[in-house]
Structure 1
Amino acid sequence: MSDQTSASKPRKQKRSETADFMIFLLKLGIFVFLFRSFFAAPFNIPSESMMPRLLVGDYLLVSKWSYGYSRYSLPFSVPLIPGRILASTPERGDVVVFKAPPYQRQDYIKRVIGLPGDLIQVRDGQVILNGAPVPRERIADFVLPEKPYNKCLTDASMETVAGVRQCRYTRYRETLPNGKSYEVLDTTQGTAGDDTRVYTVPEGMLFLMGDNRDHSADSRFPARDGEAIGMVPEANLVGRAWISVFSTDGSASWLLPWTWFTAARWERIGERF
């Protein structure tokens, strides 16, 4: 009898350790779910539409508390939150992540230009907000070495200096009426988005634009899945761009660990919005 009792103890202990490990994983999953839903979530930049502020290969955290919470705050847009709670409207100039119309499947990132009730137009590449041109000051060109994640957007922007290929873009500093200032690129004259009709931003909607004005499918164009976004409902907001946590130019190889460090753009890490 005593031998049977002693033999059963290791099996019970093993089952207990397995149960404890499963409980730990469950708690960890719940913590990650709550953190990503209500505090912050990671986001990576897949396109050039927000250059020069954001480059392909940038990784950032998005604050979830900035504009309230909805189903789009939750991973996989789980429908656990009805409508929006603790809702607030972004300020002009905020960089926001949102679910892109018309089907709310993809996360996009753009800058808020127009709020509900605003009149927005673009004339010869300059934003006209409520009838007044948004000041735009020409500053030094934006120069970026050509890397796997940074290919020149036009043939005209490509140049070779001392044997190094780089991209040069015309750059402006734009300043909104609330004092928010940021840099924008104007790479090509006479593109479809350089001259638009006057848009009236409806209640509950936002007019969003990319900082790379000639390479951004934004609120200047009708919403099409995987392309332009049209006006964006405030209810689609996921969060506000908060801080850059990593950046790579795409030249690293998984098989060569030292390239993980040489490919990193260290100067971009820690930048706030």
Structure 2
Amino acid sequence: MAGYFAIFLVLLTLASGLIWLLDAFVLAPKRQQKLATAQAAAGGSLPEAAGTELVKEPQIVETAKSIFPVIALITIFRSFIYEPFQIPSGSMMPTLLVGDFILVEKFSYDVKDPVWRSTLYSNAKPQRGDVAVFKYPEQPTVDYIKRVIGLPGDRVIYRNKQLFIEKACASELSAACKKLEMVELALQNEGEFYQEQYPQRRYTEQLGDVSHDILQTPARREHTEFFFKQRGTAIDEFIVPDGHYFVLGDNRDNSRDGRFWGFVPEDNMVGKAVFIWMSFEFNTDPNSWIPGWVPTGVRFERLGPIG
């Protein structure tokens, strides 16, 4: 089911639309009938102020008619076209930073109704390397954002901070079948970002045709004891079931992702993150008089497509 705000928008749209229709087909004709009756009783002549008062719309009708077109447009836009999101955590650094405001393309995947999230139109499927927003499997009213790593049928291994993928094969005759491949990493720098007091290494990771940057914290060990336990596999190995996807955060040592809770059902997919339309800096000094939620600057250089 959709989040509370989406449900609120749909209910508000329906309520204001129904009030508008009720007035157009029931209440407005009754007001005109009262006006005609009053004019007849007055001998065909009625003071203008009295006539205006008789046909005046109730406040709730006036409000509904004024907000319905705007609310309906917003509901359609964010339900089926693009929805704005704010990045609240650093799990997708360096691709997305805290304070980034992004647009998620809803029609990139299956088009779903805004309340029950049943599929209205089957479109494209998530692809390896997509930055995807989805309903968190353990709490479906919460939206998560991670990168798609494993597709249905893939075997994924994350061992010693290195990613390996054995791609699912449509045909056993394919040369890539049953071949475990190491995902290439190219070191860019160290110390640009920190996790607590530990410097992080920035790598460029190559997922097929998709190139993107990730962060690793060499001083932090992998907490494999908390990894999702899948029957018949090693603790750091994941075989993606049909109709599901395996996702990771780009900030590999600071992300609660598929390693810890498993797989994302296809029905949970919301859309593909495609654009940063605003990016704010926030105060991080605990001794400052400025609250941490108050923006202190705009990162204009971050605006643009998401890689």
Q: Compute the TM-score of the two structures, normalised by the length of structure 2.
A: 0.70
Instruction: Within 5 Å, give how 1:127-142 maps onto structure 2.
Output: 127-130=163-166, 131-141=180-190
Query: Does 1:237 find its partner at 2:279?
Result: no
Instruction: Within 5 Å, give how 1:199-238 maps onto structure 2.
Output: 199-221=238-260, 223=261, 230-238=262-270
Q: Which residue of 158, 180, 183 corresponds with 2:213? A: 183
Query: Does 1:156 find its partner at 2:189?
Result: no
The number of aligned residues is: 237
Instruction: Within 5 Å, give how 1:80-99 maps onto structure 2.
Output: 81-83=117-119, 85-99=121-135
Structure-2 change in CA distance of 1:111 and 1:22 (3 Å): same
On the 8 A contact 1:196/1:220 being kept in 2, the answer is no
The AA in structure 1 aligned to 2:304 is G
On the 8 A contact 1:249/1:264 being kept in 2, the answer is yes
Residue 34 of structure 2 is matched in structure 1 by: none
Residue 160 of structure 1 is matched in structure 2 by: none
On the 8 A contact 1:84/1:235 being kept in 2, the answer is no
Distance in 2, Cα, partners of 1:232 & 1:52: 23
The AA in structure 2 aligned to 1:182 is H
On the 8 A contact 1:137/1:173 being kept in 2, the answer is yes
Instruction: Within 5 Å, give how 1:19-34 maps onto structure 2.
Output: 19=61, 21-34=63-76
**What are the superposed Cα offsets for residues 168-222 of structure 1, whole Å, 9 maximum, x if unpaired?**
x21111101x21110000013422259952211010000000000000111111x
The AA in structure 2 aligned to 1:137 is A
**What are the superposed Cα offsets for residues 129-180 of structure 1, whole Å, 9 maximum, x if unpaired?**
0111101111123625xxxxxxx522133xxxxxxxxxxx21111101x211
Instruction: Within 5 Å, give how 1:1-273 maps onto structure 2.
Output: 1=42, 4-12=46-54, 14-15=56-57, 19=61, 21-71=63-113, 74=114, 78-79=115-116, 81-83=117-119, 85-130=121-166, 131-141=180-190, 143=192, 152-157=194-199, 169-176=200-207, 178-187=208-217, 188-192=219-223, 196-221=235-260, 223=261, 230-251=262-283, 263-273=297-307
Distance in 2, Cα, partners of 1:235 & 1:84: 12
Structure-2 change in CA distance of 1:83 and 1:3 (3 Å): closer
Q: Name whichever of 18-27 and 88-97 sits farther off.
A: 18-27
Distance in 1, Cα, partners of 2:156 & 2:196: 28
Distance in 2, Cα, partners of 1:118 & 1:249: 38
Query: Using CA pairs below 8 Å that are at least 6 residues apart, which structure has the higher relative contact order?
Result: 1
On the 8 A contact 1:121/1:196 being kept in 2, the answer is no
Q: Which of these two proteins has the greater Rg computed from alpha carbons?
A: 2
Aligned-pair distance for 1:66? 0.2
Q: Compute the TM-score of the two structures, normalised by the length of structure 1.
A: 0.78
Distance in 2, Cα, partners of 1:129 & 1:64: 27
Distance in 1, Cα, partners of 2:67 & 2:300: 33
RMSD (Å), alpha carbons = 2.8
**What are the superposed Cα offsets for residues 238-267 of structure 1, whole Å, 9 maximum, x if unpaired?**
1000110111111399x9xxx86x511111
Gaps of 5+ in 2: 1-41, 167-179, 228-233
The AA in structure 2 aligned to 1:251 is N
- Percentage identity across aligned positions? 36
Aligned-pair distance for 1:11? 2.0
Aligned-pair distance for 1:95? 0.1
Aligned-pair distance for 1:57? 0.6
Distance in 1, Cα, partners of 2:222 & 2:238: 18
Aligned-pair distance for 1:17? 8.8
Other structure's SS at 2:149 match: strand
Structure-2 change in CA distance of 1:142 and 1:180 (3 Å): farther
